[in-house]
Amino acid sequence: MERLQKYLARCGVASRRHAEQMILDGLVQVNGVTVREMGVQIDEALDIVAVDGKPVKLSSEMIYYILNKPQEVVTTCEDPQGRRTVLDLLPKDIRIYPVGRLDYMTEGLLLLTNDGDLANQLTHPKYKIAKKYWVVVKGYISDQMILALRKGIDLEDGPTMPAEIELLKRDPVQSDFFMTIYEGRNRQVRRMCAAVSLPVTKLRRVQVGSLKIGNLQPGQYRQLREEEVAALRKLLKGEGAG
């Protein structure tokens, strides 16, 4: 027996947390009956699970893609407003979903997979997976601003963890730097910079854990190598750093 949301994640339908929301929204059926509560357990050998009436089954193959998400693309499987989604950039014959999110105007590294367990771990706050961004801001970033970011910023949803800052260039017009965070809050980098009066003009994620964007251009993608997947699993077990 297995919890329904975990089974959906293992089937590659969505991350476990997104699967929970799908259940609450009444999108999931078990043996023809809509399920809306958490805690339901299913037997994959006996029960028929469907999403929007379409049966879902476990995939025999785990698939992992890395995408350099361009600007003006949404990190969802579909968009009610008709905007391009990250899945529009990938082959149509694979069933995978994005791990975490990048906002509409942020570009850079995005992992997509049907491995629900790995996706859940990579996005779970307790693992504190490092996410490194190249940040361009308007104006001069002072030593005091850098120190504030390194200490952590008190945002409306609570104080952030300390960030790592690697300064690349600064002048009165524009500054750019690498910023590494260990959380996955909504628009976190932009909000942290705004809190110290630094409007972000360009934002690109270049690394997640041990996975780096490399020379992928915006809109380009590739499958992960076996050793890259193994390195992510090793990192999650606390056996190595990115």
Phi-psi region of 12 (alpha: psi -120 to 50; beta: other; left: phi over 0): left
Residue ranges of domains in the chain, CATH in brackets:
2-55 (3.10.290.10), 64-125+210-236 (3.30.70.580), 130-208 (3.30.70.1560)
Give the model's pLDDT for residue 168.
98
Pairing of the two strands 131-138 and 174-181: antiparallel
Give the model's pLDDT for residue 45.
84
Q: How far apart are CA 13 and CA 113, in angstroms?
A: 10
Calculate ∠ Cα 110-235-134, nearest 5°. 40
Give the model's pLDDT for residue 60.
65
Half-sphere exposure of 235 (CA within 13 A, CB side): 20
Give the model's pLDDT for residue 241.
45
Reported as a single tens digit per residue, the pLDDT across 10-60 is: 787 777 778 899 999 999 999 999 999 998 999 988 999 999 998 888 766
Q: Which residues of the chain have pLDDT under 70?
A: 59-60, 239-242
Give the model's pLDDT for residue 242.
40
Structural tokens at position 149 = 């970011």
Catalytic annotation, pick one of 52, 79, 88, 103: 103
Cβ burial of 137 (10 Å; 0-12, 13-18, 19+) is: buried
Q: What is the DSSP letter of 153?
A: -
CA-closest candidate to residue 206, choices 88, 81, 66: 66
Structural tokens at position 41 = 């357990």
Annotated catalytic, 93? no
